[in-house]
């Protein structure tokens, strides 16, 4: 039994690693830099959204896209600050959010991630393993600014953390919230469609106006409230579809009224969601 579980776990990690590798090899759009609050910028384009907070003592970054994006990310950061990158906070382990870790470490930045997410990176044999981990919360103080990384529960994976910027009244949600399409529940890495909406409710306990999603345009608090409701709607539809058989459940799910499709990453996560909802 133990051997079988290990094999299944290994296959899940390999599939996830292959997925991010496939993404990395696709043509990617140019990166763009956008100022979203008085002291907070977002770099968007290929991979996950990168938050940048410059201070007089150095720069703090949230996520760092694919490895190939590291030079462009550093160039964007240098356009707004002559200080070095001191800290990188990873929201979770996926390669479109952690691919630049090795380059950041080479530039002497310290990488911080949740314990579960680092364990997922180890299992997936990913490069750029963070030096520092936390179970519940990690505060970082830099240049008179406070930033809080908080593990709020399962959803996209079992290691998702949000990053809260109190002075900016802003939060980076990682892939617990995306404004660019359907959610991906990575059950191979501990994701949970059952717990996801409750996890979103925990994010909403913080005081913020601006929301930086894992992918897509910068949004507002009301959009995150709506996302929590959307996750609950999706969960109900998936459960109904899965009850008719997991093999062809995708054909019985329609998310068009939510502005979403059912293919891509959402479809890849469907077997795991069906399994979880049947228990």
Structural domains in the chain? 2-192+207-220 (3.60.15.10)
Give the integer Cα–Cα distance in Å for 101 and 158: 20
Six token digits for residue 7: 């094999």
> Which pLDDT does position 121 carry in this prediction?
98
What is the three-class DSSP state of 89?
strand
pLDDT along the chain (279 residues), means of 10: 38 45 54 98 97 98 98 98 98 98 98 98 98 98 98 98 98 98 97 98 98 98 98 98 92 96 95 96
> Which pLDDT does position 8 carry in this prediction?
37
Q: In the chain, where does DSSP find H-type helix?
A: 2-24, 70-78, 95-98, 101-106, 115-123, 196-203, 221-242, 264-277
> Which pLDDT does position 30 carry in this prediction?
87
Q: Please count the other Cβ atoms lying within 10 Å of the Cβ belonging to residue 229.
A: 11
> Which pLDDT does position 5 carry in this prediction?
35
């Amino acid at each position: 039994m133990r051997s079988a579980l290990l094999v299944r776990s290994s296959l899940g990690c390999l599939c996830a690693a292959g997925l991010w590798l496939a993404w990395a090899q696709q043509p990617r759009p140019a990166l763009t830099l956008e100022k979203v609050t008085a002291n907070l910028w977002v770099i968007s384009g290929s991979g996950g959204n990168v938050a940048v907070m410059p201070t007089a003592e150095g720069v703090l970054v949230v996520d760092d896209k694919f490895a190939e994006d590291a030079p462009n990310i550093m160039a964007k950061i240098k356009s707004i600050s002559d200080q070095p990158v001191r800290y990188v906070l990873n929201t979770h382990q996926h390669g479109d959010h952690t691919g630049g870790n090795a380059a950041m470490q080479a530039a002497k930045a310290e990488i911080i991630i949740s314990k579960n997410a680092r364990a997922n990176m180890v299992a997936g044999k990913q490069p750029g393993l963070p030096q520092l981990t936390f179970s519940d919360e990690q505060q970082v103080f830099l240049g008179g600014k406070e930033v809080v990384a908080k593990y709020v529960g399962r959803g996209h994976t079992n290691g998702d953390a949000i990053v809260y910027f109190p002075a900016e009244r802003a939060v980076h949600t990682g892939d617990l919230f995306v404004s660019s399409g359907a959610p991906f529940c990575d059950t191979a890495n501990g994701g949970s469609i059952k717990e996801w909406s409750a996890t979103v409710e925990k994010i909403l306990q913080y005081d913020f106006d601006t929301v930086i999603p894992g992918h897509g345009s910068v949004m507002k608090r009301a959009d995150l409230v709506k996302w929590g409701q959307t996750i609950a709607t999706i969960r109900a539809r998936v459960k109904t579809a899965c009850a008719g058989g997991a093999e062809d459940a995708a054909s019985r799910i329609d998310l068009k009224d939510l502005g979403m499709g059912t293919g891509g990453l959402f479809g890849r996560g469907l077997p795991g969601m069906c399994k979880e909802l049947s228990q």
